[in-house]
Amino acid sequence: MSALLELKNISAGYDDKTILQGVNLQVNPKDFVGIIGPNGGGKTTLLKVLLELLPPFDGKVIKQTGLRIGYLPQINSIDKKFPISVKEVILSGQLSKSLWNKKHEKTSNKVDELLKFVGLEKYKHSAIGDLSGGQMQRVFLCRALISNPHLLILDEPNTYVDKTFEANLYNLLGDLNKDMAILLVSHDVGTIASMVKTIACVNGGLHYHASNKITNEVLKSYNCPIEIISHGTIPHRVLKDHKHE
């Protein structure tokens, strides 16, 4: 099986400020990669390069022909006045208008199906700005899934999501991973370690670990004094005192 997507020796950043350097990454079908790293380490920047929203200073992004990517962006601030309905947000994840025209009926069913899945069916015609942060994040997850992607990219999907839905979300991702590759960015190392297959640490560069075990080596490249103590099936996380500047 050939790679879905490959980054080759990428350096990237903004204006003349380099954020990422010498980044290599290969994403294969059925991969489930957890991307961790300190705040400001370049995780979101890496995703933007992957999605070709940010042209790299150097290096190459190689994609399999016809690759469909679903993207749930990191939600920082929410514009409550954005005049668009929940249904419209989800449909905006469609690849092109022609596809939407041809598959209108099918797509409409899919919107219902996805909304039911995230427990928001009654909000279909609500304005997106009327929803809570967690609900909005679920709508954006539907948006990422509407095109039936080969690769699903999630940037901090659990920022606003409440604890009950968070468990659902992780079950859901496990199911989705049977059909698609997933890249999941999270600063919550302990939680994602139990569900992903491999881990990439992003902190200026990218360190790839071909397993989901949080070893000392992983923690060293994470560059934070974190200790993980495993207790049965529940990972416990202990943070020593430390500062990010």
Ligand X SMILES: Nc1ncnc2c1ncn2[C@@H]1O[C@H](COP(=O)(O)OP(=O)(O)O)[C@@H](O)[C@H]1O
- The contact set with ligand X (CB under 6 A) reads 14, 19, 37, 39-45
Sheet order of strands, 198-203 included: 69-72, 151-155, 181-185, 32-36, 198-203, 205-209
**Residue 133's binding partner out of ligand X, Mg ion, none, with CB under 5 to 8 Å set by partner kind:** none
Shortest distance, position 107 Cβ to ligand X, whole Å:
31
* Contact between residue 93 and residue 146 where contact means Cβ atoms under 8 Å apart: yes
Shortest distance, position 55 Cβ to ligand X, whole Å:
13
CA 62 to mean position of chain CA atoms? 19
Dist CA 61 CA 8 (whole Å): 6
Instruction: Look at strands 226-231 and 234-239 and give their pairing.
Output: antiparallel
Shortest distance, position 155 Cβ to Mg ion, whole Å:
6
Q: Tokens 């929410």 appear where?
A: 78
Between residues 47 and 169, which has the closer beta carbon with respect to Mg ion? 47
**Residue 40's binding partner out of ligand X, Mg ion, none, with CB under 5 to 8 Å set by partner kind:** ligand X
Between residues 133 and 174, which has the closer beta carbon with respect to Mg ion? 133
Between residues 104 and 242, which has the closer beta carbon with respect to ligand X? 242
DSSP 160: S
Shortest distance, position 175 Cβ to Mg ion, whole Å:
25
Task: Give the residue closest to Mg ion by C-beta.
Answer: 44
Residues 6+ apart with CB under 8 A from 70: 93, 143, 144, 145, 146, 147, 149, 151, 152, 153, 180
Instruction: Look at strands 69-72 and 58-63 and give their pairing.
Output: unpaired
Among 44, 137, 158, 186, binds Mg ion (CB under 5 A): 44
Shortest distance, position 40 Cβ to ligand X, whole Å:
4
Between residues 49 and 91, which has the closer beta carbon with respect to ligand X? 49
**Touching Mg ion, residues 61-90 (CB under 5 A):** 74
Q: Does 45 engage in binding with Mg ion (CB under 5 A)?
A: no
> What is the H or E stretch that residue 100 is in?
helix 97-102
Shortest distance, position 136 Cβ to Mg ion, whole Å:
17
**Residue 19's binding partner out of Mg ion, ligand X, none, with CB under 5 to 8 Å set by partner kind:** ligand X
Between residues 71 and 123, which has the closer beta carbon with respect to Mg ion? 71
Shortest distance, position 74 Cβ to ligand X, whole Å:
7
Between residues 35 and 214, which has the closer beta carbon with respect to Mg ion? 35
Between residues 147 and 186, which has the closer beta carbon with respect to Mg ion? 186
Q: Tokens 């999907």 appear where?
A: 157
Q: CB-side exposure of 169: number of CA atoms within 13 Å?
A: 25
Sheet order of strands, 58-63 included: 17-27, 5-14, 58-63
Q: Point out which residues bind Mg ion (CB under 5 A).
A: 43-44, 74
